[in-house]
Amino acid sequence: MKKIALFAGVALLASCGSPDEGTIETEDGEVAYDIDRDGESVEATFTGPDGEVARFESGPNADAELPSGFTVYPGAQVVMNQTVTTNDGGGSIIVMTASASAEDVIEFYRDQASRAGIEIASEINANGTRVIGGEAEDGTALSVSAIPSGDGSTQIQLTIGRGD
C-alpha cells in the first residue's frame, strides 16, 4: 500500500491536464484513478491491483481531517490543505498564516501534542523559525513549523498523520 500511496501522490501532482479517470500501469499492476476538480480543490482516488485505496484531497477549501484533539490555529487563514487517506492510515498537511508569534504557535501545538500522547522528540529554533516534531505510541506523528514573516504574521505548516 505504501507504494500505491507514493505513486498516487506523484500521479496526482502530474495529473494537471490528464483525463479525469483512467488507469496507469505500475510495476505492481494496474492502478485505476478518478480525479474530481472542483474549483480550487482537487480530490483524487486511486485503487491498486489488490483493491487498496488511496484518496487525496488538496486545496484551500479541502476538509482538514485532523485527529481528535487537534485544530487549525485559532484565527489562522488556511492557505493550503492536503489530506491523504489510505487503507493503512493517512494524514494532513495544512499551511496557514496567523497573526501570532512563532513561539505562540509552537506552544499551542505542543500543548495539543502533549494531550494526545505525542512525545516531542525534536525541536529547532533558528533565526526565529521554530520547528517541533514527535510521535505517539500509536504511530501518530506530528511536525509543526512556524516561520515569522516580515509583516508580523507567521506561516504555519502542520503535518500530522498515522500509518500502520
Q: Give 104-127 pLDDT, tens digit per residue.
A: 999 999 999 999 999 999 999 999
Mean pLDDT on 32-36: 80
Give yes or no: residues 53 and 94 share one domain.
no
Asked whether residue 1 carries a pLDDT value surpassing 70, the answer given is no
Give yes or no: residues 41 and 98 share one domain.
no
Cell of 75: 484565527
Asked if residue 64 is part of any domain, the answer here is no
Give yes or no: residues 125 and 145 share one domain.
yes
Give yes or no: residues 44 and 76 share one domain.
no
Residue 73: per-residue pLDDT: 95
Residue 61: per-residue pLDDT: 62
The residue range of the domain holding 15 is 1-58
Long-range contacts of 130-137 (CB under 8 A, 24+ apart): 130/102, 130/103, 130/105, 130/106, 132/106
Give yes or no: residues 96 and 152 share one domain.
yes
Residue 132: per-residue pLDDT: 97
Give yes or no: residues 109 and 38 share one domain.
no
Give yes or no: residues 115 and 160 share one domain.
yes
Residues 8, 32: Cα–Cα separation, whole Å: 10
Asked if residue 39 is part of any domain, the answer here is yes
Asked whether residue 162 carries a pLDDT value surpassing 80, the answer given is no
Asked if residue 63 is part of any domain, the answer here is no
Residue 137: per-residue pLDDT: 92
Give yes or no: residues 73 and 150 share one domain.
yes
Adjacent-strand bridge partners of 144 = 132, 158
Total domains, the chain = 2
Give yes or no: residues 29 and 101 share one domain.
no
Give yes or no: residues 17 and 52 share one domain.
yes
Cell of 62: 479541502
Give yes or no: residues 106 and 39 share one domain.
no
Give yes or no: residues 27 and 101 share one domain.
no
